[in-house]
Amino acid sequence: MTARRLSYGGRIDRYRTITVEFDGRSFAAHPGDSLASALLAGGQTIFARSFKYHRPRGLMAAGVEEPNALVHLRDGARHEPNAQATMVEVFDGLKATPQNAWPSLRFDIGAVNGMLSRFFGAGFYYKTFIGPFKGTGFWMFCEKFIRSAAGMGQATTLGDPDHYEKINAFCDVLVVGAGPAGIAAALAAGRKGENVILVEQDHSVGGALLSAVPGGVSDVWLKKAESELRDISNVRILTRTTAFGAYDTEVFGLVERSQDHVKAPEVGKPRQRYWLVRSKRAILATGAIERPLVFAGNDVPGVMLASAVRKYLNRYAVLPGDRVLVATNNDSAYVAAIDLAKAGAKVMLCDLRQKGPKSLFARARAAGIDLKLGHGIVKAEGGKNVRGARLIAVDAKGKASGKEISVSCDLIATSGGWAPALHLWSQRFGKPEYHSNLDAFLPPAERGAFTCVGSLVGATSAAESAMQGHTAGGSVGKLDPLPEEDDFWGRGLLPTTVITRANGTTPGKAFVDFQHDVKLADIDQAHMEGYVSVEHLKRYTTLGMAADQGKTSNLNALTRMASLRGVDVPNVGATTFRPPYTPVTIGAIVGNDHGLHFQPTRLSTIHDWHMENGAETIEAGAWLRPWYYPAKGETLRDSYIREAAHVREHVGIVDVSTLGKIAVQGPDAAEFLNRVYTNGFKTLPVGRLRYGVMLREDGFVLDDGATARLGENDYFMSTTTANAAKVLAGAELLLQAAWRDLKVHVTTVTDQWAAIAIAGPKSRAVLADLTGADLSKEALPNNHFTNVVVDAVPCRLHRMSYSGELAYEIYIPAKSGLKVWEALIKAGVPYKLKPYGTEAMGALRIEKGHVAGSEIEGRTTMKDLGLEGFASSKKAFIGSVLRRRPLLEDPDRPSLVGLEIVGDVGAKAGSLLFAMNVPKKGHGEGWVSSATYSPALKKNIALALLSRGPQRFGETIEVVDFVGNQTLQARVVLHHFFDPEGHRQNG
């Protein structure tokens, strides 16, 4: 292969020369080049080493289908693996390096894998687990070696320095592909006034027209069409943009590589944009991908697709070889052959067909092409470069016979027909239909809101494509004619793509999937081992499962499978495609949704005070809450023990604004609450509040909390922080779907109210000082509320206790939360009031034996949690029937107990419980749900669920943490460790 840049032609900017680097070598390039064309022009033949066998590989294609030329791009934090050299636009200073080759591209030690290919064949991974090397031991031995030898590029571990953007867009028509069909479609639809988005993965519009000889009629057509398109304000053209996914209801995912064609993104510009487009209809003009022929040595550098050779020649002005052997089974390669001959190459064209269009043969001969009909290539000769080929006579059915003929050449250009790029269509609709005249799967022209046009549906010329696009776009305006004689995609096709000797073998490795190194022999082997379905074949051989998703290999594998089974191609099945069409950078998918932008952080209106006063915070769902307020040098443990003890001795306040709050209003509110809570709510008087338990429909506990009756038809429900959204959504479903006769509104008011709990023996005194209200036991007993005013802020004061202390909750209009908090801090000074965090709150509730999220975890019943007393027997409520299922009433079910841990080390939540002196195996008889050090009891305690728990008070059991490898002993006690009679909270 002796590629060189021609001194004329091409669609490159010859006035500017820039430098790119590959494998440590500098190459001159021109704007308009791809990395592949620049390297090819500079004489590079080997671009990569293959996946499994480390065979030298050159360019096969010139576009998105390129399976071989994957390179590392850039370096440092912008290092990017698996970039297709054919899709990388050059820029000055571009740096690329080879991947999957060591020590070098020309000499790769991994090529010994080729000699071991017997072991790397179909089903290698599966076979390694079962004979001859039974078991996983051999796999473990081999894995390290194989993983380092077989692979694609390496990703960087450095943080991505670039940023990415997401755009939501809407349009009437999304046109994918800006070749002749897509351009004509966008023009017609745009003229009609439709809102059009035209997407093109290339940096220029034109598609296949860009591969034509420059300066022809199609260039004039393209220039005129593009300038009109750019003048229509309702048409948006997105170049460097790939439509990678087609989703339900005409939603499309696009990725725009807005700054990948420069060395580093301009300041303030995103590297890529992720577009989510909702369209009313879609016109797919995604074109077709040329199929390679399969023969021995078809992966030797210098064997390329005919359309790619033509593109390098006409678009990039690179003549990839001087002595070219073109091999084809259809008309389209003739155009490439003629262009090559006109550019000065010596061309031999071997056509698998005996017969063909005489005019085309005449044109070829007139161009000086040596035409060999009824012949195919049975083997490409050469190692690191094509040196020649062996041809064999082929009959009308594609069967080889006779003697092989040797020819000399430095480039082989093949065409096995065209495979429509139906990926987007298939993502949306599944299996396409097989058309034997083109030996290809085609989508229908119309389905749902999709119209497919151009070579995607078998158009065999640019002119036909443009006509189809014009019609799909709405036939508005005049379509300028394109020359008819330029392209012959798939015309006159003989459905033979695999060339073997008469006995069916290939004289050397013949590749079907180049990116995953799957050979013809692997497919034959899979067939012999009984694989009949293409989906199984794929997984067994890994064919089509590389980054290119089999763009050049699926059809060839299918036809081979079909011929081995003696059935038609459709009987083998078609592979379906899933997004993305081409790989999408994770950064584009993530966009700005990372770090603190991943989800909103919910903060209480008092949050700033917590931060200014040294609180450490903890996440609770989306909320950030004060966890503890460390004094100088204190650990978490020191802090929470001090804070909890302080509450029991003096008084503390904690920000509980995160509690879910729901306004339940309407004439039937009492009836509604009576149905959703297990305990009675119909009798709750105005001015009172009541603790309630809710179940799920299946009878398990859902949530608990207090509800206050503010007025005749006005209730204020509180839920746990974690379940607020679930409770509200459930209530809405019940009211909207099941209980439509109830006149009730439920409205979230979580963000409207700040809430502070004040707990401890001095809490009454602090609040009385602050509000001037009579808060005596008689005036405000437990479970009552009253309206108070703090610093001119009207608030509601609930008397209720979570800690077991004399305690209150004050509900404040959210905007005044901080003001009231600060007023409490000030009023509390004489009483030594201190703030406390969620950790101390947890310690206090464990001491008191209150259940929380660790106990109400979806698997526990009221009986399990000792809440049976809250279940009314006089009324129906959600879950009232199913909670009585026999297995849920099994007396052996783990139920709530307290544990007093023996010794100075605390238990870990999640530890398993075992009776003494039994083997510590299996899941034990229960588990620890919450654990803390109790400052009140001066010992480590825990809440646990233990089989037959309440019957085992006094028993010593073992607490085993298998993860931390720790075994403790504990005494089973009542879970109300502290003040079980409730003297303090009711005092």
Partner 1 sequence: MLRIHCPVCGWRDETEFTYGADATVRRPDVNNVDPKVWLDYVFMRDNPRGPHKEYWHHVTGCRQWVVVERDTLTHEISGSYLAREVVG
Smallest distance, Å, CB 948 to partner 1?
25
Comparing CB distances to partner 1, the nearer of 118 and 740 is 740
Range in contact with partner 1 (rule: CB under 8 A) among 491-499, 731-739, 791-799, 976-984: 731-739
Comparing CB distances to partner 1, the nearer of 741 and 892 is 741
Smallest distance, Å, CB 815 to partner 1?
24
- Alpha-carbon distance of 283 to 425, in angstroms, equals 10
Range in contact with partner 1 (rule: CB under 8 A) among 49-57, 562-570, 621-629, 725-733: 725-733
How many Cβ atoms are within 10 Å of 664's Cβ, its own excluded? 25
Comparing CB distances to partner 1, the nearer of 367 and 590 is 590
The only residue of 77, 502, 622, 729 in contact with partner 1, by rule CB under 8 A: 729
Smallest distance, Å, CB 732 to partner 1?
6
Contact 337, 347 (CB under 8 A): yes
Which residues lie across from 155 on neighbouring strands? Answer: none
The only residue of 698, 868, 955, 961 in contact with partner 1, by rule CB under 8 A: 698
249 binds partner 1 (CB under 8 A): yes
Comparing CB distances to partner 1, the nearer of 116 and 881 is 881
3-state SS assignment for residue 826: helix
Site string for partner 1, 271-300 (x = CB under 8 A): -----x-x----------------------
Which residue in the block uniquely carries the two structure tokens 């003629």?
338
Which pairing describes strands 689-695 and 701-711: parallel, antiparallel, or unpaired?
antiparallel
The pair of structure tokens assigned to 195 is 């809102």
Please report, as residue ranges, which positions from 183 to 242 form the binding site for partner 1 (by CB under 8 A): none
Which pairing describes strands 388-394 and 400-408: parallel, antiparallel, or unpaired?
antiparallel
Comparing CB distances to partner 1, the nearer of 23 and 698 is 698
918 binds partner 1 (CB under 8 A): no
Smallest distance, Å, CB 689 to partner 1?
24
Amino acid in the structure at residue 254:
L
The only residue of 115, 737, 792, 887 in contact with partner 1, by rule CB under 8 A: 737
Which pairing describes strands 714-719 and 660-665: parallel, antiparallel, or unpaired?
antiparallel
Please report, as residue ranges, which positions from 786 to 805 form the binding site for partner 1 (by CB under 8 A): none
Smallest distance, Å, CB 736 to partner 1?
5
> Distances in Å between the alpha carbon of 292 and those of 295, 570, 734?
9, 20, 61
Cα–chain-centroid distance for residue 364?
Answer: 50
- Alpha-carbon distance of 511 to 117, in angstroms, equals 13
- Alpha-carbon distance of 613 to 924, in angstroms, equals 44
Amino acid in the structure at residue 99:
Q
Smallest distance, Å, CB 882 to partner 1?
5
User: Which H or E element spans position 568?
Assistant: none
Comparing CB distances to partner 1, the nearer of 591 and 761 is 591
The only residue of 358, 740, 874, 923 in contact with partner 1, by rule CB under 8 A: 740
Range in contact with partner 1 (rule: CB under 8 A) among 243-251, 387-395, 451-459, 495-503: 243-251
Comparing CB distances to partner 1, the nearer of 222 and 676 is 676
Contact 627, 616 (CB under 8 A): yes
Smallest distance, Å, CB 549 to partner 1?
21
Smallest distance, Å, CB 123 to partner 1?
33
Comparing CB distances to partner 1, the nearer of 248 and 612 is 248
675 binds partner 1 (CB under 8 A): yes
The only residue of 250, 322, 410, 805 in contact with partner 1, by rule CB under 8 A: 250
The only residue of 697, 751, 769, 857 in contact with partner 1, by rule CB under 8 A: 697
Which pairing describes strands 18-22 and 94-98: parallel, antiparallel, or unpaired?
parallel
The only residue of 7, 736, 873, 965 in contact with partner 1, by rule CB under 8 A: 736
DSSP readout, 422-450?
Answer: -HHHHHHH---EEETTTTEEE--SEETTE
Cα–chain-centroid distance for residue 833?
Answer: 50
- Alpha-carbon distance of 886 to 206, in angstroms, equals 72
Comparing CB distances to partner 1, the nearer of 745 and 939 is 745
Smallest distance, Å, CB 190 to partner 1?
24
247 binds partner 1 (CB under 8 A): yes
Smallest distance, Å, CB 942 to partner 1?
33
Comparing CB distances to partner 1, the nearer of 162 and 698 is 698
Smallest distance, Å, CB 245 to partner 1?
9
Comparing CB distances to partner 1, the nearer of 261 and 281 is 281
DSSP readout, 672-703?
Answer: HHHHHBSS--TTPPTTBEEEEEEE-TTSSEEE
> Distances in Å between the alpha carbon of 188 and those of 100, 228, 280, 474, 692?
47, 11, 16, 6, 66
Smallest distance, Å, CB 273 to partner 1?
18
Range in contact with partner 1 (rule: CB under 8 A) among 247-255, 289-297, 319-327, 601-609: 247-255
Range in contact with partner 1 (rule: CB under 8 A) among 119-127, 738-746, 799-807, 830-838: 738-746
Smallest distance, Å, CB 449 to partner 1?
11
3-state SS assignment for residue 304: strand
> Distances in Å between the alpha carbon of 782 and those of 339, 442, 777, 841?
95, 75, 8, 19
Contact 453, 284 (CB under 8 A): yes
> Distances in Å between the alpha carbon of 981 and those of 97, 657, 985?
76, 29, 9
Which residue in the block uniquely carries the two structure tokens 């687990």?
129
Cα–chain-centroid distance for residue 105?
Answer: 33
Q: What angle do CA 529, 533, 538 make, to 5 degrees?
A: 80
- Alpha-carbon distance of 226 to 247, in angstroms, equals 29
Comparing CB distances to partner 1, the nearer of 207 and 245 is 245
The only residue of 160, 162, 732, 955 in contact with partner 1, by rule CB under 8 A: 732
3-state SS assignment for residue 337: helix
The pair of structure tokens assigned to 622 is 């989306």
Comparing CB distances to partner 1, the nearer of 263 and 447 is 447
738 binds partner 1 (CB under 8 A): yes
Which residue in the block uniquely carries the two structure tokens 């050779």?
309
The pair of structure tokens assigned to 785 is 């509320």
Smallest distance, Å, CB 249 to partner 1?
4
Range in contact with partner 1 (rule: CB under 8 A) among 95-103, 200-208, 730-738, 853-861: 730-738
**How many residues touch partner 1 (CB under 8 A)?**
25
Please report, as residue ranges, which positions from 444 to 483 form the binding site for partner 1 (by CB under 8 A): 448
Comparing CB distances to partner 1, the nearer of 697 and 769 is 697
Comparing CB distances to partner 1, the nearer of 253 and 416 is 253
Site string for partner 1, 874-893 (x = CB under 8 A): --x----xx-xx--------
Contact 931, 941 (CB under 8 A): yes
Q: Judging by beta carbons within 10 Å of its beta carbon (0-12, 13-18, 19+), is residue 629 exposed, middle or buried?
A: buried
Which residue in the block uniquely carries the two structure tokens 């598609």?
207
Site string for partner 1, 491-530 (x = CB under 8 A): ----------------------------------------
CA-wise closest residue to 122 among 497, 529, 515, 509: 529
The pair of structure tokens assigned to 151 is 């692979």
How many Cβ atoms are within 10 Å of 613's Cβ, its own excluded? 11
- Alpha-carbon distance of 195 to 183, in angstroms, equals 14
Comparing CB distances to partner 1, the nearer of 251 and 547 is 251
Smallest distance, Å, CB 740 to partner 1?
6
Range in contact with partner 1 (rule: CB under 8 A) among 248-256, 342-350, 586-594, 749-757: 248-256
Binding site residues, partner 1, CB under 8 A: 247-251, 276, 278, 448, 675, 697-698, 729, 732-734, 736-740, 876, 881-882, 884-885
